[in-house]
Amino acid sequence: MDLMDLELVEQVARLDAWLGEGGVVVLSGAGLSTDSGIPDYRGPSGSARRNTPMTYQTFTGDPLARRRYWARSHLGWRTIGRARPNDGHRAVARWQRLGLLHGVITQNVDGLHQAAGAADVVELHGNLARITCLDCGELTGRADLQRRLTAANPGFTAVAAAVNADGDVELEESALDGFVVVDCLACGGVLKPDVVYFGETVPADRVSRAFELVAGARTLLVLGSSLTVMSGRRFVLRAVKQGVRVAIVNRGVTRGEPYADLLIDAPLGVVLPNLARQTDTYRLLPH
């Protein structure tokens, strides 16, 4: 951290004190995973600036769009599946081990919180590592699907131009010719990543659990989210309504600014490791 930036030092010290009190709920967004090589949606290099994310209606209603998605996602998983937790994910997992966290809610679908050691993470939008059948509901692992898609498309040699935050890639339309989509082995139904697409509703039990966590928190700590969509912003609004402090660490504009008791506009890769070093000195708090 730049020790010459006294305002930033003071902000981090304030957040450090709140962490030391415990009862913190983390709400993470795509900005937390950028240092792991996964782009965000709306940052300076965000994928929302380059492409329109897949919607549930398009995926289920258009076989050609579904084929396009799976071809791109098949390539994208080579990056997403190899991504590893960064210092921010490790910091959150460390706070949880120290008993400082009341809960972790993530808008991300990359599973990096769990890979860093965090437990009981509420995955609002699901996880790309799981595949669901829209007909029979069977859940399978992504590795199995990757092997099946590779076997079904031995001549598929397309190269991704850029990976998007939702796991697919930018790809020339001509590269999709002949790509074969596989179906559910159990029933022959349509397969879909176990994630919430745009236009799809987050399962009620996940939302309910997240609201419960916020209600029992001292501080809601938002990490790497612009809070542009209501899916995440509603938890900030609920925190404010219930008198829970809101702290936001995000690079760039966030729609949570009017509600934040503390807003730190700085790279998470700078702020969070410094907080992690400070919180290492805390005693283990009772759960």
Q: What structural domains does the chain harbor? A: 1-38+86-125+202-287 (3.40.50.1220), 48-82+128-195 (3.30.1600)
Residue 258 CB-half CA count within 13 A:
4
Q: Is residue 251 a known part of a binding site? A: yes
Q: How far is CA 207 from CA 37, 73, 111, 203, in A?
A: 28, 27, 18, 7
Separation of alpha carbons 272 and 279, rounded Å: 10
pLDDT at 40: 77
Separation of alpha carbons 97 and 276, rounded Å: 12
Asked whether the predicted pLDDT for residue 204 surpasses 90, the reply is yes
Asked whether the predicted pLDDT for residue 165 surpasses 80, the reply is no
Mean pLDDT over 192-201 rounds to: 93
Q: Per the structure block, which two tokens stand in for 243?
A: 């008198």
Long-range residue pairs from 263-266, CB within 8 A, at least 24 positions apart, any chain:
264/8, 264/11, 264/12, 264/15, 266/8
Q: Is residue 46 a known part of a binding site? A: yes
Separation of alpha carbons 220 and 275, rounded Å: 16
**Confidence tier at 49 by pLDDT (50, 70, 90):** very low
Q: Return the closest-CA partner of residue 222 out of 72, 134, 105, 47.
A: 105
Among 182-186, 270-274, 281-285, the minimum mean pLDDT is found in 281-285
Q: Is residue 126 a known part of a binding site? A: no
What residues pair up with 249 in beta bridges, in sequence order?
223, 264
Active-site positions read: 125
Asked whether the predicted pLDDT for residue 163 surpasses 80, the reply is no
Mean pLDDT over 31-55 rounds to: 71
Q: Is residue 231 a known part of a binding site? A: no
Q: Is residue 37 a known part of a binding site? A: yes
What residues pair up with 221 in beta bridges, in sequence order?
26, 247
pTM as predicted: 0.89
**Confidence tier at 50 by pLDDT (50, 70, 90):** very low
Of the two residues 61 and 198, the one the predictor is more confident about is 61
Q: Are 262 and 11 in contact (CB under 8 A)?
A: yes
Q: Per the structure block, which two tokens stand in for 48?
A: 């929302």
Percent of residues, the chain, with pLDDT higher than 90: 72
Mean pLDDT over 186-192 rounds to: 98
Q: In what order do the strands lie in the sheet with 191-195?
A: 139-141, 126-133, 191-195
Asked whether the predicted pLDDT for residue 286 surpasses 60, the reply is no
Separation of alpha carbons 174 and 171, rounded Å: 8
Q: What is the pLDDT of residues 209-258, one digit of tens each?
A: 999 999 999 999 999 999 999 999 999 999 999 999 999 999 999 999 99
**Confidence tier at 5 by pLDDT (50, 70, 90):** confident
Q: Is residue 30 a known part of a binding site? A: yes
pLDDT at 51: 59
**Confidence tier at 34 by pLDDT (50, 70, 90):** very high
Q: Is residue 174 a known part of a binding site? A: no
Mean pLDDT over 33-60 rounds to: 73
pLDDT at 54: 86
Q: What is the pLDDT of residues 102-135, one digit of tens each?
A: 999 999 999 999 999 999 999 999 999 999 999 9
Asked whether the predicted pLDDT for residue 65 surpasses 50, the reply is yes
Q: Is residue 178 a known part of a binding site? A: no
Q: What is the pLDDT of residues 69-102, one digit of tens each?
A: 999 999 889 888 999 999 999 999 999 999 999 9
Q: Are 14 and 198 in contact (CB under 8 A)?
A: no
